[in-house]
Amino acid sequence: MATTSAVSDRNGGCTCRFVRYRLTSAPLFVHCCHCRWCQRETGSAFALNAMIEADRVQLLNGAVEVVDTPSNSGRGQRISRCPTCRIAVWSNYAGAGEAVRFVRVGTLDEPDRCPPDIHIFTASKQPWVVLPPGVPAVAEYYKASERWPAASLERRAALMALAPPTRS
Ligand SMILES: [Zn+2]
Ligand SMILES: [Zn+2]
């Protein structure tokens, strides 16, 4: 049995199945971003991104093509896409650098297991999207130190010790 492309709660990939990856642990934090940039990039109402250390994203099959793309911050994001079907599987933003990947939750085989920890940029939320009670929501962005669980902050501190980001 090939195990590398097996469905699991932490496996994912593109639509043509050339790119298959596995998250080797739970993510740090999951963003549901309602900014206009994410709306345009997804063609939808929001983007769902699981932030995780780059070295916890294991490529099981294929390769990604990195596309430099403008971003809201003006400093760009690097979107990793399948070279064949062009589905975006993760991004790196200038702020968090190469150390943290923003994995597109919808590319996981079981995206239901990765609900958002916070809704961000709700100032531009499409009005028909009704946010669930009990999940934090902020008009724009937030401070990780105020919102992330302790275990994720510890993981973040370990990353920053290795490669300090250009902004917190
Ligand atoms: Zn593909
Ligand atoms: Zn966004």
List, for residues 25-58, the tens digit of each pLDDT value.
999 999 999 999 999 999 999 999 999 999 999 9
Ligand 1 midpoint to CA 85 (Å): 4
Ligand 1 midpoint to CA 63 (Å): 9
* pLDDT band per the 50, 70, 90 thresholds, residue 118: very high
pTM: 0.90
Ligand 2 midpoint to CA 48 (Å): 9
Contact, 154 vs 144, CB < 8 A?
Answer: no
User: Mind listing the pLDDT tens digit for each residue in 21-33?
Assistant: 999 999 999 999 9
Per-position DSSP letters for 50-75, written without gaps between them: EEEEGGGEEEEES--EEEEE--TTSS
Ligand nearest to the CA of 122: 2
Ligand 1 midpoint to CA 62 (Å): 9
Task: Determine the Cα–Cα distance for residues 38 and 19; give it in Å rounded to an integer.
Answer: 22
Q: What's 147's DSSP letter?
A: H
Ligand nearest to the CA of 49: 2
- pLDDT attached to residue 164: 63
Ligand nearest to the CA of 37: 2
User: Mind listing the pLDDT tens digit for each residue in 56-70?
Assistant: 999 999 999 999 999
| Sign of the alpha-carbon torsion through 130, 131, 134, 139 | negative
Ligand 1 midpoint to CA 20 (Å): 9
Ligand 2 midpoint to CA 149 (Å): 22
Ligand nearest to the CA of 89: 1
Ligand 2 midpoint to CA 35 (Å): 4
Q: Which residues surround the ion ligand 1 when the cut-off is CB under 5 Å?
A: 14, 16, 18, 82, 84-85
CA distances from 55 to 50, 99, 107, 133, 151 (A): 14, 8, 18, 33, 17
Residue 93 has pLDDT above 80, yes or no: yes
User: Mind listing the pLDDT tens digit for each residue in 131-140?
Assistant: 999 999 999 9
